[in-house]
Structure 1
């Protein structure tokens, strides 16, 4: 075969391979997710609070392609208003927004007893930033830029945890049981009368059984303080709670961890 024909065939073959590769890339879904996960994605109602319109369009379009119903707002105050008067299955909040930042939106929701699951999206990815978001009551924290399939996976995990928690009607640690419906406690067959704050305090401790719960966490979740006031309110209520759930019984459950916080657990 003449040399110029060999050259022509090589060019033609290379061009064909390029075209096939290009077509293959164009046919890939815009928001790929592992095939085995597609059937697991249960449609949910989502509030997206994101002031970057390009990012918002990317997320909204991707979630819609996976069957989710998305409401988008670009202002923190609008996000708070929507969540107060509606009940989305999940809120995705940007940390930095005009009007009201995402952290303030979350704190206002928790103060209003709105337990909507919240995932933060933010370019603020330092450990302190992530800890701050989670300590305020956020359920997850995703740093930009992110892969869309990771957002889907975190959404699925967050809504699954919320569903599991909503189905719980009682909590038990060792021989102490807290009934979330009747708001009563019982230990070794003895009914324990609890005041409202004592019940809320015990619920937080029992939901975090075996883990350290800091004073700051208790102030935020029980008293809705976003700062550490100069008060002994936590210590006072812990003392009262311990007198009710521990002192009449042989085995102490509520433990004070010096310079750390408190932990509720049985014998170890």
Structure 2
């Protein structure tokens, strides 16, 4: 499963991520509510785990905003709040399940397994497109106007991330986490460097530039 974990307790987060990855899951990590909401709205998750008390937006607020977008991805809220009124508020926000801290990891796994069965696997789009640029996710072949573009592995990962979210602005932090991992020792400048390399291969020689910089925010690819 592809899971989004939003939890501001770094020690607990590392433990949960380690345990989930041992169970063959892939995990994206958000340390606060605003980052979690940005990740969630990009889609592609089988399950979202939200801590109730986080900096910025709370887990309940994130859950509400996800549901306002008609996104029905299963959501599990983690919290130290165990009063009935708190549980009702959590469910009213759109959460599918509620787990009180401290908890046994085996129970978390069981809840995740049960929630994972609720969401049918979507049919993945095999060929991504943006204007006259095409990326085949099965063969990894990239073409523009019928001309093949040879990319490195990182360039391909970056381009596919942009194309899967075409029209949306991805921050450098989101790109770093999605491509290199949240604990990778790379900087925001690494993203800028790869964007420059990608532009030389994708946009050079074309009057219409597909990869755009949004000053102060990040990058996007035109539809």
Q: TM-score range by the shorter chain?
A: 0.5 to 0.7
Count of aligned pairs between the two proteins: 122
Alignment correspondent of 2:22: 65
> Which of 70, 79, 84 is equivalent to 2:36?
79
How far 1:126 moved relative to its partner?
1.0
Q: Is the 8 A contact 2:74 2:118 kept in 1?
A: no
Q: Whose relative contact order is higher, 1 or 2, with alpha carbons under 8 Å and at least 6 apart?
A: 2
Alignment correspondent of 2:12: 55
Structure 2 residue runs without a partner (length 5+): 123-223
Alignment correspondent of 2:101: 144
TM-score of the superposition, structure 2-length normalised?
A: 0.53
Listed as ranges, the matches of 1:94-105 within 5 Å are 94-105=51-62
> Which of 65, 77, 93 is equivalent to 2:50?
93
Q: Larger helix proportion, structure 1 or 2?
A: 1
How far 1:147 moved relative to its partner?
0.5
Runs of 4+ in 1 over 3 A off after TM superposition: none
> Which of 105, 110, 114 is equivalent to 1:157?
114
Q: Is the 8 A contact 2:46 2:119 kept in 1?
A: no
Give the greater-gyration-radius structure (CA).
1
> Which of 66, 72, 77 is equivalent to 1:120?
77
CA RMSD of aligned residues (A): 1.4
How far 1:138 moved relative to its partner?
0.4
How far 1:86 moved relative to its partner?
2.6
* SS of equivalent to 1:162: coil
How far 1:116 moved relative to its partner?
1.2
Listed as ranges, the matches of 1:220-231 within 5 Å are none
Alignment correspondent of 2:64: 107
